Structure 1
Amino acid sequence: MSLSRLSRKFEWLGWWQVLICFVITTYYVAIIAWAISYFFYSFNLSWGEDTEAFLFGTYLGVPDDVVTETGWNFGGLQWHILIPLIAVWAGTYYVLYRGVKKGIEKVSKLFIPILFVIMILFVIRAVTLPGAAVGLNHLFTPNFGKILPEFLGGTNPEWHRVWMAAYGQIFFSLSVAFAIMITYSSYLNKKQEVNNSAFIMAFSNSGFEFLAAIGVFAAIGFMAVSSGSDVKDVADAGVGLAFVVFPKIINAFPVLNGLFGALFFLSLIIAGYTSLISIIEVLIAALMDKFRLTRKAAVNWVIGICALISIIYTTGAGAVLLDIVDHFINNFGIVIAGLLEVILIGWFANITRIREDNNLVSDFRVGVWWNVMIMGMTPIVLLFMTVKNFQFEFSEAYEGYPFHALLIFGWIMVGMTLLIAFCLAYAFKWKTDYKQEVSRS
């Protein structure tokens, strides 16, 4: 609806961002279920010494022939994943059913301070470990060769992928480019202070991530020194860091292994759960606005459909499916949606009026530089990186997966979200009073 007010022709972009949330929801809940399992495994270090074999073999049940050139081996349901998944959905349903004030706001007020306290304890313990300084040196020593093109002295032929990963991460972390910020801003009054809140939120988020990075790299440094390895050989990306590397680190702790492990995975659960609720609220609000559904009906539809689809991630092939879907929805969903949004705002809306209206209700005034960033710098950089990413994607199969796997769960998945977005935008009429307001805009 918000993008429709700017231009009726761009309603599809708003729905595409909503559907990006839908896709993320279906697999994000599975990661929270993994964290719940590992929270309980922490107390007796159930993952053993070979944490990688435990994760992919014992826990996830990934078959050796999970995906080949001829097809998939889904390996059946993993009930020890399905049970915590159902528990997450039950808790999510309860919170969202109660609404924004009684549900989402109360959960956030409770869990966010708890998460901060846990992270402080985690960082204090991590930086006091032997070898922590090695990991911190790795964190704070820049390597510009990894992020610069070759003509500027770069040494990494895939430098653009580092930037795309960074864009995808900060977009996800700040909840921009997939409708979350737009949804929650709709609950604010028209005189709500905007600029200060935006800067405080952005710097608070990055500050918390910086704090977490100190703890993570300190722990990795400890592991590197303990095993006689280099930091870059110990570190891993994605689920490998949380569910393979960190259990190894926890195993190597001299004392209180179980407590440290429980705190780490509890922080993942809280961070993931609060994020999940904010993502699903986008879907609920969109259905309520467009189809005039009651909150109860919208919650039932959203939770029901998402829960059913998420079951596929509890199969033996779930981890591989998650990897493919997450890669494509982040690199070709969130980032491109963000690119199109800044183009729409920068070139099809009265961006100067938007800035001046925000300045009227804000103590901190934003200058003309904001126009320059939205109209020029940001879209140019995002467009360049997106083109480079497309070139790389078509030159090399992601993680060596077969073409059919990337086609169906990557390209077709993203394409289907676009197709459904257009259908929702133009095949269905608004059933709320917003329709007249949108058409007048």
Structure 2
Amino acid sequence: MTAADPRAAVPQREQWTGQVGFILSALGSAVGLGNIWRFPGVAYESGGGAFLIPYVVALITAGIPILFLDYAIGHRFRGSVPLALKRLGGKLGEGLGWFQVAICVFISIYYTAVLAWSSSYFVFSFDLRWGDDTAGFFTGDYLQTAASPFTLDFVPAVMIPLAIAWIVTLGILAAGVVKGIQRANIIFIPLLIVGFLILVVYALTLPGAMDGLNAFFTPDFAALADPNVWIAAYGQIFFSLSVAFGIMITYSSYRRRRSNMTGAGLVVAFGNSSFELLAGIGVFATLGFFAFQQGVGIAELEGLTGVGLSFMTFPAIVSQMPGGAWFGALFFGSLTLAGLTSLISILEVVIASLRDKFGWTRRNAVLGFGGILAVISLVLFGTTSGLTALDTIDAWSNQLGIVASAVGMTIVVMWVRRKGPELARHLSAVSTFKVGILWQIFTSVLAPLVLGYMLIAKIVDFLQNGYEGYDTWYLWAAGWGSLLIMLVAAFVLPQLRWRHDPEKFEVWPTDAQLGTKGGAR
């Protein structure tokens, strides 16, 4: 490893061309699979229309504050997540940054598999290839799911679209921030919104659609007395906004010095929530039609969230509706676009971090390390045990890794390094929407308390009850093992030397301009 050169600063960063490019790219990250397949079911099971109350409270008290925290760190300290957090908090901050990068590594290798599935189902929509037994087709004919939790029996029907998904994603990343990431989001996000709007409008014309909307929006205010409903709201907001695992720190570091950060953040936050609400309307209007066709109530339907909703329930609905082929193509096309834009942002966290730390070119980082991740993804998720691996790693990465990262970041930044006042002044100095003491309270007190409770409760649940009935040895290997690798990365990588001197850096506005202690870095 080449020693850090004290004469050389980290090279100048790439930059978005403007506000629109940044907002669309941030929306591309936030609007993902969870908006379409997770939010509607969570809302329905957590009080229906009444769920919107804790949802909005969570958005205001945790979602937006932590989004602003990510923006402030990335924009002020001008780096990938380990670089920005090192400049903010030394080796402790850098270790937290590499933990977030490791989370993105694990998410990227399984997220690409879901992207491959949705793109396959986009093609299947045109001839309704799944037939009458959609669950059997998905787990049997398509995935060929094995009883064993780990196999090396490869499934060509999955491996081919999985390889294509990696080639497309890495090609976009190799083109750079503006020519690759920004250009892709400028094309894909409007296309996603228009396509999904058409889908929703058509769903509302189907018989039974209003019954579905009544089931979705009818409030059960008694549910608000259940703490789990509030935890579900905070969890949904938190996971949906793509905060606390490096994406928004990385994306905001590509903004020009003079940029309106909080205004853009509000657009992203409320734009993301608006899409979730739109997804809820579209999904439940469609489920209402399905219940009408079956002669049952919404509550009697199965598979209302996640993989089951997207790849079992929705194909069954598509087969029964007029114009089902193009409706299915719109749905799975939207799912593919939402997944692709999110995957791009997840991998950019990894690529940017490797470039900053080791001085690699973008092409070498994308084709070298990205190629390694692609091979791992193909081996793990292109097999008959891919669904089990995906389900397990997803649960530990999202429900433990990201939440632990958020708790750690709020504690390190706000309590250990006491950077709250400086970051608040930075946001207010460059933005139209000012932040102050209330933002600091939400970020330093409320968010870590709520998220800390979520983290402890989930750890206890996994230890006591396991997960989905999978073998205990497998959960320790794939679930807890992936978490251990993240922790090892957080400890080992800060010990390696930086290719360029990360401390040769000037913040702007300066500490003197903001009225904070410190000085040039």
Q: Same fold (TM over 0.5)?
A: yes
- Measure the CA separation in 2 of the matches of 1:375 and 1:420: 26
- Report the counterpart of residue 406 of structure 1 in structure 2: 475
Asked if the contact 1:42–1:261 (Cα under 8 Å) also holds between the matched residues in 2, the reply is yes
Relative to 1, partners in 2 of residues 1:26 and 1:45: Cα closer, same or farther, differing over 3 Å? same
- Report the counterpart of residue 177 of structure 2 in structure 1: 100
Q: 1:80 aligns with which of 145, 157, 164?
A: 157
- Report the counterpart of residue 7 of structure 1 in structure 2: 89
- Measure the CA separation in 1 of the matches of 2:155 and 2:195: 30
- Report the counterpart of residue 417 of structure 1 in structure 2: 486
Asked if the contact 2:199–2:327 (Cα under 8 Å) also holds between the matched residues in 1, the reply is yes
- Report the counterpart of residue 38 of structure 2 in structure 1: none
1:429 shift after superposition: 0.8
Question: Counterpart amino acid of 1:96?
Answer: L
Asked if the contact 1:95–1:103 (Cα under 8 Å) also holds between the matched residues in 2, the reply is yes
Question: Counterpart amino acid of 1:425?
Answer: P
Paired-residue identity, %: 42
Asked if the contact 1:6–1:349 (Cα under 8 Å) also holds between the matched residues in 2, the reply is no
- Report the counterpart of residue 339 of structure 1 in structure 2: 407
- Measure the CA separation in 2 of the matches of 1:163 and 1:6: 32
Aligned ranges for residues 288-367 of structure 1 at < 5 Å? 288-311=355-378, 312-347=380-415, 348-367=417-436
Asked if the contact 1:167–1:335 (Cα under 8 Å) also holds between the matched residues in 2, the reply is no
What secondary structure is seen at the aligned counterpart in 1 of 2:436? coil
- Measure the CA separation in 1 of the matches of 2:248 and 2:475: 30
- Report the counterpart of residue 250 of structure 1 in structure 2: 318
- Report the counterpart of residue 454 of structure 2 in structure 1: 385
- Report the counterpart of residue 246 of structure 2 in structure 1: 179
1:182 shift after superposition: 0.4
- Measure the CA separation in 1 of the matches of 2:499 and 2:273: 40
1:93 shift after superposition: 2.0
Q: Which runs of 5+ in 2 are unaligned?
A: 1-82, 507-518
- Report the counterpart of residue 211 of structure 1 in structure 2: 278
Relative to 1, partners in 2 of residues 1:164 and 1:330: Cα closer, same or farther, differing over 3 Å? farther
Residue 45 (structure 1) aligned with residue 122 (structure 2): no
What secondary structure is seen at the aligned counterpart in 2 of 1:76? coil
Asked if the contact 2:89–2:413 (Cα under 8 Å) also holds between the matched residues in 1, the reply is no
- Report the counterpart of residue 213 of structure 2 in structure 1: 136
Q: 1:241 aligns with which of 303, 309, 312?
A: 309
- Report the counterpart of residue 373 of structure 1 in structure 2: 442
1:282 shift after superposition: 0.8
What secondary structure is seen at the aligned counterpart in 2 of 1:400? coil
1:372 shift after superposition: 1.0
CA RMSD of superposed structures (Å): 1.8
- Measure the CA separation in 2 of the matches of 1:193 and 1:207: 21
- Measure the CA separation in 2 of the matches of 1:420 and 1:389: 23
Relative to 1, partners in 2 of residues 1:342 and 1:190: Cα closer, same or farther, differing over 3 Å? same
1:49-94 CA distance string (max 9 Å, x none): 110000001100012x223xxxx4x261110111111111111122
- Measure the CA separation in 1 of the matches of 2:452 and 2:159: 40
Asked if the contact 2:87–2:502 (Cα under 8 Å) also holds between the matched residues in 1, the reply is no
1:208 shift after superposition: 1.1
Moved more, 318-327 or 416-425: 416-425
Asked if the contact 2:87–2:503 (Cα under 8 Å) also holds between the matched residues in 1, the reply is no
Asked if the contact 1:339–1:382 (Cα under 8 Å) also holds between the matched residues in 2, the reply is yes
Question: Counterpart amino acid of 2:451?
Answer: L
Question: Counterpart amino acid of 1:12?
Answer: G
- Measure the CA separation in 2 of the matches of 1:10 and 1:345: 8
Question: Counterpart amino acid of 2:438?
Answer: W
Aligned length: 423
Asked if the contact 2:122–2:328 (Cα under 8 Å) also holds between the matched residues in 1, the reply is yes
Relative to 1, partners in 2 of residues 1:207 and 1:354: Cα closer, same or farther, differing over 3 Å? same
Moved more, 409-418 or 227-236: 227-236
- Report the counterpart of residue 66 of structure 1 in structure 2: 148
- Report the counterpart of residue 194 of structure 1 in structure 2: 261
What secondary structure is seen at the aligned counterpart in 1 of 2:126? helix
1:402-431 CA distance string (max 9 Å, x none): 1011100001111111112211112x1111
Asked if the contact 2:208–2:291 (Cα under 8 Å) also holds between the matched residues in 1, the reply is yes
- Measure the CA separation in 2 of the matches of 1:355 and 1:281: 26
Residue 54 (structure 1) aligned with residue 137 (structure 2): yes
- Measure the CA separation in 2 of the matches of 1:142 and 1:319: 35
Residue 18 (structure 1) aligned with residue 101 (structure 2): yes
- Measure the CA separation in 2 of the matches of 1:164 and 1:305: 37
- Measure the CA separation in 1 of the matches of 2:219 and 2:459: 27
Relative to 1, partners in 2 of residues 1:163 and 1:80: Cα closer, same or farther, differing over 3 Å? farther
TM-score (norm 1): 0.92
Question: Counterpart amino acid of 1:17?
Answer: Q
Asked if the contact 1:171–1:334 (Cα under 8 Å) also holds between the matched residues in 2, the reply is no
- Report the counterpart of residue 119 of structure 1 in structure 2: 196
Question: Counterpart amino acid of 1:5?
Answer: R
Moved more, 107-116 or 360-369: 360-369
Question: Counterpart amino acid of 1:419?
Answer: V
- Measure the CA separation in 1 of the matches of 2:261 and 2:399: 29
- Measure the CA separation in 1 of the matches of 2:239 and 2:499: 31
Question: Counterpart amino acid of 1:134?
Answer: D
Asked if the contact 1:168–1:330 (Cα under 8 Å) also holds between the matched residues in 2, the reply is no
1:265 shift after superposition: 0.5
1:435 shift after superposition: 4.1
